[in-house]
Structure 1
Amino acid sequence: GAGVTKILDIEALLARAFPREATVRKSSGGVAKPIATAAADIVVRRRLITFDVAGQEYALSLDAVREIVLAPDSLAYVPGSDEAVRGVMAYRDGLLPLLSLRVLLGLGGHAPQHSGKIIVTVVAGTVVGLIADNARSILSVDPRLIEPAPKVLSARAGGEARIQEIYRAGHGRLISILVAETLFREDVMQKLAQTTAQAAAGGAVADGTTAELRFLVFRLDGNEFALPIDAVDEVARVPEQITRLPKTPKFLEGVVNLRGTVLPVVDQRRRFDMPPSDGGAARRLVVVTSGAHRAGLIVDSVTEVLRCGADAIRPAPELMTGEALALVGSVINLEASGRMLLLLDPAELLSRAERGLLDSFSKTAAGKDTRQSRP
């Protein structure tokens, strides 16, 4: 008369959650053989950086974005310039012309100056800043979900003509993909180049021939940290549902299903023995690649994409010891702004224990498949 109790097959659950990179099948003799992956099956994903303009979501290719900075408190107005040109701001060793995406896209009005983000890009050899209302996320997307913009939009003369492609992100979410070169008329670009050259008096912002690096900057408990942009797959909101795993390190929050992929999630506050977060809406999941593993890092907020020279990278303070020294191998010293960011080493994002844990999952799954393949 008692109820029914379901017994879980833990090995099978782990095998599905952490599949091996090589799929195994049985031959006619019962021997397991790896399935060769055809080149046509390999999908090269595209990385986009998304932002809001007048309540709509747009994107640019991450490769086209040099960095993202906060809008300045004040701008130098350029008289007689195009309506889209909002002015110039001090930028590194020169001046950066700023243009309103609202005007360029025909959406009207201007974003609140002090809350906007400046997306720095290069158009026809000229470095420009595009003013967006807010920066949203970095996405690693399947190109098969990106389609050309409908011809009816391309035929219009307004901001719709600037939309090149549309990404179907799921759940009714559509992201319009822009190409920076198509945002400007020819005469605007000519004026822009002249304005930049005159304002900088021979010290205009250059295309950047020196070796420079890009980093994703995020905050933890009021402190600024950075990761090399090449180690970041994407930035997303923290999922509401996180499945916890028993007998794992305390800072391993659990696993999440991110668009069909199971990822281990590390709470970076716990990793650095910081007090728990209040779970604010600004929290983000930074998906990174560390060696053969991928993981999601929970951070308080993502603030910008930073570009700096290699000479700004300095060794970490000698006061750091143990795991902190291994994880924070260097600092980024921005002397001009008085900022110092702790630079995390992507190779150390997952501890030895975490990497061993994930490897053991794979070995367990592999061993089970081998046993099942025996006659």
Structure 2
Amino acid sequence: APRLVVFDVAGQAYALALGVVREVMAVPSQIAVAPRSEALVLGVADYRGGLLPLFSLRGLLGLSTDLQVELGQKVVVTAIGGVVVGLVVDRMRAIVPAEPSLLEPVPPVLAARTGGEARISAILRREGGGGLISVLSPEGLFREEIMQRLGHFSEQGVAGEDGQGALSATLSFLVFRLGEDEFALPIEVVEEVCAAPAQITRVPKTPSFLEGVINLRGEVLPVVDQRRRFDMGPAPEGAQRRLVVVSTDKHRAGLIVDSVSEVLRSSASQLDAAPDLTGQAGRLVNAVLNLDGGSRILLVLDPAELLTPAEARLLEGFETEGARPPGD
């Protein structure tokens, strides 16, 4: 199923197709206010050698007149009409599969309230009463006159579709945290990101970092606690940890991490060979990402090495025996 990036705006859940999201990043520390610009433009920020216009998604959706940038907000970078723009949202929530059977058309009354503009392309019903997610259409967010102004921005050097030419061989990663350390996984292997499950069925005679298994939409999914995998201490009490579901040719597994911070776009030139590491890290880390001139280092995990062959066989045997772990 296609995947959606879900984020919060004014207490409501919205989403964009992962395929149209270039990055999800922290709000830049420096934003220049553009004089005489459209009111919904929060300003412009430096972005990969160009300028990125920042728009308040609250304002675009008519949810709030308070368009101030707040600490902790995120920028969803997407391309609209050939121009790359940043949509400021309250926080990134999850990555979820868009099962066609759970997608509903927009009710006519909602379309009428938006003045006929197709801002919302569909409504996703979450399984198990998990609420509704409004799926946005990027092109429907902007009125024609704003699109014309975006064209003016582009002429003045805003990063357009070709604005990342330096990123020959562009790669995308999901970035997550364990304590103060940052890790990355190739986005193509990430199936889903959701809240860590409250109930996990333990499997006897397995390593301590294998939390157990859960039932995720009818399939048994092994769950790995990445803190234990890297011999780190327990997470702070009350921490709202996340489950990252990863699927490769070898296996499918869920990783419990402290938080998911962003979807990062990078170039192959920023990848370096992994340093000599001991223990589990030596097998799991296959590269490092050097960002911000070397001041930020991300450890890139090898998805194929998340479970050893012996661990995978043990869990496959558990599934074959007909285990029925509790639902997610």
Question: TM-score if structure 1 supplies the norm length?
Answer: 0.80
2:253 maps to which of 268, 271, 295: 295
List per-residue Cα deviations over 1:118-177 (Å, max 9, x = no partner).
000011110000000111000013111001101111122359851110001031501000
Aligned match of 1:61: 17
Q: Kindly indicate whether residue 41 of structure 2 is the aligned counterpart of residue 85 of structure 1.
A: yes
1:95 maps to which of 34, 51, 57: 51
Change (3 A) 1:92 1:117: same
Change (3 A) 1:159 1:285: farther
Q: Kindly indicate whether residue 100 of structure 2 is the aligned counterpart of residue 149 of structure 1.
A: no
Q: Kindly indicate whether residue 153 of structure 2 is the aligned counterpart of residue 195 of structure 1.
A: yes
Tell which deviates more after alignment, 205-214 or 272-281. Answer: 205-214
Aligned match of 2:269: 311
Aligned match of 2:325: none
Aligned match of 2:4: 48
For 1:313 and 1:232, how far apart are their aligned partners in 2? 19
For 1:102 and 1:364, how far apart are their aligned partners in 2? 50
Tell which deviates more after alignment, 223-232 or 70-79. Answer: 70-79
Q: Kindly indicate whether residue 192 of structure 2 is the aligned counterpart of residue 230 of structure 1.
A: no
How well do the aligned residues superpose, as a CA RMSD in angstroms?
2.0
Give the secondary-structure state (helix, strand or coil) at the position aligned to 2:126.
strand
List per-residue Cα deviations over 1:60-84 (Å, max 9, x = no partner).
0001101111012331011111111
For 1:165 and 1:363, how far apart are their aligned partners in 2? 38
Matches within 5 A, 1:88-127: 88-108=44-64, 109-110=66-67, 112-127=69-84
Contact 2:54 2:85 (8 Å CA) reproduced: yes
Aligned match of 1:324: 281
* Structure 1 residue 362: Cα displacement: 5.9
Aligned match of 1:284: 242
List per-residue Cα deviations over 1:80-99 (Å, max 9, x = no partner).
11111111011121111101
* Structure 1 residue 337: Cα displacement: 6.4
* Structure 1 residue 116: Cα displacement: 0.9
For 1:92 and 1:354, how far apart are their aligned partners in 2? 42
Give the secondary-structure state (helix, strand or coil) at the position aligned to 1:249.
coil
Q: Which runs of 5+ in 1 are unaligned?
A: 1-44, 366-375
List per-residue Cα deviations over 1:335-366 (Å, max 9, x = no partner).
4361110000011011232112134346667x
- Give percent identity, aligned residues only: 55
* Structure 1 residue 322: Cα displacement: 4.8
Tell which deviates more after alignment, 333-342 or 123-132. Answer: 333-342
For 2:319 and 2:219, how far apart are their aligned partners in 1? 15
Contact 2:48 2:164 (8 Å CA) reproduced: no
Q: Kindly indicate whether residue 299 of structure 2 is the aligned counterpart of residue 342 of structure 1.
A: yes
Matches within 5 A, 1:171-210: 171=129, 173-198=131-156, 206-209=162-165, 210=168
Change (3 A) 1:159 1:222: farther
For 1:152 and 1:92, how far apart are their aligned partners in 2? 41
Give the secondary-structure state (helix, strand or coil) at the position aligned to 1:82.
coil
Contact 1:54 1:102 (8 Å CA) reproduced: yes
Aligned match of 2:172: 214
* Structure 1 residue 53: Cα displacement: 0.6
* Structure 1 residue 259: Cα displacement: 3.1
Tell which deviates more after alignment, 65-74 or 48-57. Answer: 65-74
Task: Output the amino acid matched with 1:303.
Answer: S
Give the secondary-structure state (helix, strand or coil) at the position aligned to 1:80.
coil
Q: Which runs of 5+ in 2 are unaligned?
A: 323-328
For 1:159 and 1:175, how far apart are their aligned partners in 2? 20
For 1:64 and 1:114, how far apart are their aligned partners in 2? 25
Contact 1:330 1:343 (8 Å CA) reproduced: yes
Contact 1:328 1:343 (8 Å CA) reproduced: yes
Contact 1:72 1:114 (8 Å CA) reproduced: no
* Structure 1 residue 205: Cα displacement: 7.2
* Structure 1 residue 280: Cα displacement: 3.6
Give the secondary-structure state (helix, strand or coil) at the position aligned to 1:246.
coil
Tell which deviates more after alignment, 62-71 or 332-341. Answer: 332-341
Question: TM-score if structure 2 supplies the norm length?
Answer: 0.91
Tell which deviates more after alignment, 225-234 or 92-101. Answer: 92-101
Aligned match of 1:35: none
For 2:115 and 2:59, how far apart are their aligned partners in 1? 10
Aligned match of 1:138: 95
